[in-house]
Chains A and B, each alone.
Chain A
């Protein structure tokens, strides 16, 4: 039985070319980039090269890239660092209800420190309305932070429209683009974002590699204080192998983005078609078109996600779910609640994220397995038996 990974959103394998690029920087060129002597030379050059590659993917300048340990760190750094640097100007920050917890939780902390936070609602596709953003802006607003793509339902926000509103009002705009970078074109000039978060492990780079892209002239206080690495914006000895890996992953993404995305969206569409043909009572979540090319989010009515996930796992198929039972916190996904999905459908949600290992032959097999598993679980579902008897939900 071939294992079929459809959970690339959780982790991507490191690309062989990325691994190869990283390898010399563990034991051979292990020096500290800040060293004045010769051991620092290669790591320092590698760092500069990686910075140019990441900047190149985003259409930014190399000096606008700050390397961090994770997207969560970058998001924390933006929100807390920006709030600290600009609190004299105002104490209002705008985000969205479906942003990631590494944005939402720092905002909660800031609320305790006297900031006011507006979380914009989304429609049932997960889209933020630029008009509502305009309405939410006050004289006190110092920052807008809205994700580029939702990692769960895959919805792509109308970034250019949202940044146009921000620009008109002269307010800096941050986007958590962790789920989007490497899969959709994201040029900071064209989209008009001032700050952007990305993570290498989402697009075939190593874990522990991430960056914040920050427009020249933007000011924030560092989250980590210490040495003057990253021009004093982020202290701590640079994780050279990870940064080199991120650079290579960015380079590959820049070269192959169009090809990679079109391949993934064809496979995703085929998976969707196969699933909907084989299994009755499925619901598509997110936006039918404005979504990540490798994302498919559905609800399997009358059954619960963890049970589905466990059966799929036994069939060698790895997926994810937004159900209460699959979360450590035992809360159903805040994203599914925000798009107004009823609890039954949120509990039965399945997230498929495709990647390099995905193949055309997977779709019919996954559909066949899901059909069998859904039927088996529905036989023992009180909700389904009630539906069969009474014909309503």
Chain B
């Protein structure tokens, strides 16, 4: 397999899989044509991410990225979570294969969308 141990670990034992009922924010990215889709749901408490869950349709890298982002974001303040970039996630996983950097590395985008959705709802 072309993936490193960290990716294989998150792929085979993904953290925070699921969909939060009655979420405070929802973020979706991707489509089946490109091969990857991610849906993040969040719970916010005192401006912090109290819970983060994801659903992902996609390849090994997409699943590992989703899992890693959820782990990195949980417990962070919203502003801190907004600072997480796709590049940070790839680095935290010890690097993604070059051809997977664009299509599968959308986890942070999906998380940011969920936070933006939450902020929109607060207005």
Contacts and interface: CB of A to CB of B under 8 A. Distances in A.
Interface of A: 302-307, 310-311, 313-314, 323-326, 328, 330, 332, 342-344, 347, 379-383, 385
B59 A307 contact: yes
Nearest to A311: B12
A305 B54 CA distance: 19
B1 A302 contact: no
Contact of A304 (B12, B28, B58, B99): B58
The SS class assigned to the A binding surface is: helix
Contacts of B62: 304, 307, 325
Contacts of B12: 311, 314
Given A310-B60, A325-B104, A380 B32 contact: no
B14 interface: yes
A347 B32 contact: yes
Contacts of A330: 35, 99, 103
B32 A325 contact: no
Contacts of B11: 307, 310
Contact of B57 (A310, A311, A313, A382): A382
Interface residues of B, number: 32
Contact of A313 (B1, B37, B58, B59): B1
Given A306-B59, A324-B34, A343-B32, A380 B99 contact: no
B17 interface: yes
A224 B107 CA distance: 49
B121 to A, nearest CB: 20
A379 B35 contact: no
B19 interface: yes
Given A330-B35, A380-B54, A383-B57, 18 more contacts: A303-B57, A304-B36, A306-B60, A307-B11, A307-B60, A307-B62, A311-B12, A323-B35, A325-B36, A325-B61, A325-B62, A332-B35, A343-B31, A347-B35, A379-B18, A380-B14, A382-B56, A382-B57
Contact of B35 (A302, A324, A380): A324
Interface in B15-61: 17-19, 28, 31-39, 54-61
Contacts of A380: 14, 17-18, 54-56, 63
Given A313-B1, A343-B32, A382 B39 contact: yes
B37 A383 contact: yes
A301 to B, nearest CB: 11
A291 B56 CA distance: 34
Nearest to A378: B57
Enumerate the 3 nearest inter-chain pairs by beta-carbon distance, A residue then B residue, closest first: A325-B59, A324-B35, A306-B59
Contacts of A304: 35-36, 57-59, 62
28 contacts: A303-B57, A304-B62, A306-B60, A307-B59, A307-B60, A307-B63, A310-B1, A310-B11, A311-B12, A324-B34, A324-B103, A325-B35, A325-B62, A325-B103, A325-B104, A328-B99, A342-B32, A380-B14, A380-B17, A380-B18, A380-B54, A380-B55, A380-B63, A382-B38, A382-B39, A382-B57, A383-B32, A383-B37
